[in-house]
Structure 1
Amino acid sequence: MSNPVLTALLERRSIRQYTNRPITREEITTMLEAGRWAPSGKNNQPFRFLVVRSDDPRMDRLADCTIYSHVVKSAPLMIGVFLDKNSLYHELKDHQSAGACIQNIMLAAHSLGLGSVWLGQMMNNAEKVLDILSLDPATYEFITFITIGEPAKEGSSSRKPLEDIMLEQF
């Protein structure tokens, strides 16, 4: 396929095991910039980011917030995505915007030859995550952490046929 955007969409996989290669500041900035450009209602840009590296003492405590702690412990980097409650425009639209932001970050990681996975299950411990990070729950809503690193092995995936998920045929 000659379209780089469509190629990235079709080739990106969730990666849950990483090498020890550190992620550069330039790579982090590239991923955050991609997230920053996600669409949002009225261009309110309610997402906020927090970068946690593997040598950060909070990493082990954050690993305890998910049943996928082995993924967190394997990752050289995590990017936290939060919503600033003072910037919200419409709750549903702002959550959709956060999803677009996360997808942008993961596609940017893929374009840099990095792997990532969205740790959605961690939301079950949102209060604990905010406490570990010393973030005020009256100001910030925890959305997710994305683990990021050089893939230690390839990911795999499959999809249902398009006709199986269409409500009507076109």
Structure 2
Amino acid sequence: MHDHDNPVLAAILERRSIRRFTAEPVSARDLRAILEAGRWAPSGLNNQPWRFLVIRPDDPRRQALEGCTKYAHIVRGAGALVAVFLDREAMYSELKDHQTAGAAIQNMLLAAHALGLGGVWLGEIVNQAPQVLQALGLDPEVYSFMALLALGHPDQKGSSSRRPLAELLIEEPGDA
């Protein structure tokens, strides 16, 4: 791990997937800041095709979502969930729009980390996208389900490792 004085670089290097949360609620202010970070992700033609749905612990749709994933325990324990969709009418390129959804998701995870919260990007649940849309009462003709973020106050330390950069480079970038 590198020491960085730059808060953006530090957040990128320090963020980890957090799957266990305390019972402390996520404040409306923190949720708004996380959603704003998602809103400011880059998008092709600035089409901003992402749509977000926040599901709080007392939302009756939460239990239906639990039944859509093998990670029900993470859904159940989160202080807040953010379901991420693409608005089919706002899309112009499936590839670019899927990429921009990923950028919005990463922005939200970094924002959560910067606010002292934890989060995890649940991807397995997209295999049950039709059930998710039904559980949330959303029209599949309008919305394409991208991911579910589980957010909350961390009840664990995250850990991860990365392959050396040299293994990921197709060629060395050289010196400027």
Does TM-score exceed 0.5, indicating one fold?
yes
User: Equivalent residue of 2:9, what SS?
Assistant: helix
**Whole-Å Cα distance in 1 between the matches of residues 73 and 163 of structure 2?**
29
Identity of aligned residues (%): 55
Q: Which amino acid aligns with 1:105?
A: M
**Whole-Å Cα distance in 2 between the matches of residues 58 and 131 of structure 1?**
10
- Deviation at 1:169? 2.3
| 1:148 alignment partner in structure 2 | 151
- 1:28-107 to 2 correspondence within 5 Å? 28-107=31-110
Q: Which amino acid aligns with 2:160?
A: S
Deviations 1:100-133 (A, max 9, x none): 0000000000010000000000000000000011
**Whole-Å Cα distance in 1 between the matches of residues 68 and 172 of structure 2?**
42
CA RMSD of aligned residues (A): 0.7
User: Equivalent residue of 1:127, what SS?
Assistant: helix
Q: Which amino acid aligns with 1:16?
A: R
Q: Which amino acid aligns with 1:39?
A: P
Residue 163 in structure 1 maps to residue 166 in structure 2:
yes
Deviations 1:26-77 (A, max 9, x none): 1110000000000000000000000001111111110111111111111111
Could you tell me which of 121, 129, 134 is aligned with 1:118?
121
- Deviation at 1:147? 0.1
**Whole-Å Cα distance in 2 between the matches of residues 15 and 153 of structure 1?**
7
**Whole-Å Cα distance in 2 between the matches of residues 161 and 60 of structure 1?**
41
| 2:137 alignment partner in structure 1 | 134
Give the total of aligned pairs. Answer: 170
User: Equivalent residue of 1:109, what SS?
Assistant: helix
Give me the TM-score of the superposition, normalised by structure 2. Answer: 0.95
User: Equivalent residue of 1:86, what SS?
Assistant: coil
**Whole-Å Cα distance in 1 between the matches of residues 90 and 29 of structure 2?**
27
- For structure 1, the 5+ residue unaligned runs are none
Deviation beyond 6 Å, 4+ runs, structure 1: none
- For structure 2, the 5+ residue unaligned runs are none
**Whole-Å Cα distance in 2 between the matches of residues 109 and 120 of structure 1?**
18
Residue 4 in structure 1 maps to residue 7 in structure 2:
yes
**Whole-Å Cα distance in 2 between the matches of residues 76 and 2 of structure 1?**
30
Give me the TM-score of the superposition, normalised by structure 1. Answer: 0.98
